[in-house]
Amino acid sequence: MLDFIYFWIQKGICAVQPKCWQREPVLGYNSVAMDIHLVPVLGDNYAYLVVHKATQKAFCVDPAEPEKVLDAAERLGVTLEMSLTTHKHWDHAGGNNKLAKLVPGIPIVGGEKEHVPACSKFVKDGEEFYFETIKIRTLLTPCHTSGHVLYYVTDPSCADPALFSGDTLFVAGCGRFFEGTGKDMYRALVQVCGSLPPNTRVFCGHEYTVKSLQFALSVEPNNAALKQKMTWAQQRRHENLPTVPSTIAEELSYNPFMRVTQPSVALATGVSQSDPVAVMTKLRQMKDVF
């Protein structure tokens, strides 16, 4: 863990928030049953506040700065009643102990294979549980960390599912393989995420989109979906607006880490298309030095 913190300090990600970073919650998705609000925290992280509209109760995801999440809940007039953690890293789980003090008795959910601070409910791969009418399914995706989980959220009244992907899947990118291999990330992105409904909205842990797209364009410079997404993302950031969420369908069209079976991606890595795990491994090596 100390090595991880040192790495991010060296990369400058622990720096003071840039002026362009939004401080107010942003409505990222709304439906008959639930709203999903983005709560910017730290330098470029997103926490999320998911509101069950019928009851005005809410749960949050990765509240690294719990005061900001609670302030958002207060301004929205909702009650925070549960917290989900995708993985153990401080910029996602570092607010758990404080949240437990600020909201005594709040259930804090985390994967059973992860050392999540203040966790009071450990969930297994594939386990399903409910928040009012909202169904939450845990998806284990070890690689970024050995016990990283995603939360797949559905409601009978919602047309589009939601995926809280932490640092496994970013818009046009993925997290570093700190505690896993290319084989692990291939399973996570291609077999797990890639099998979800195409209209699933992806709510990731960071605002990394423009940088991820820059790398993706170096891999597939002729990908029309990539070019269009870059133009859109640059305009969004120029206007100080988030680029989250995307959808699984979109990611399959431009995210190179979900496109490792495509000839164009394999060609860029110099690895045979017949070995997508090796393509994944090489692609991450290329991104690490990009």
Catalytically active residues, by annotation: 87, 89, 91-92, 144, 167, 206
| Phi, psi values for residue 25, rounded to 5° | -65, 145
* Residue spans of alpha helices (H) in 160-275: 182-186, 209-219, 224-238, 248-254, 263-269
Give the position of tokens 């690294």: 64
In whole angstroms, what is the distance from residue 243 CA to residue 185 CA?
23
Q: Which residues contact 71 (CB under 8 A, 6 or more apart)?
A: none
- Count of Cβ atoms closer than 10 Å to residue 105 Cβ: 7
Structure tokens at 197: 């409904």
Output phi, psi for 107, to 5 deg.
-65, 130
Distance, CA of 258 to CA of 283 (rounded, Å)? 11
Taking the C-alpha atoms of residue 51 and residue 201, their distance in angstroms, rounded to an integer, is 16
Alpha carbons 120 and 58: distance in angstroms, whole number: 18
- Report d(CA 244, CA 241) in Å as an integer: 9
Strand partners, 82: 59
Helix (H) or strand (E) holding 123: strand 121-123
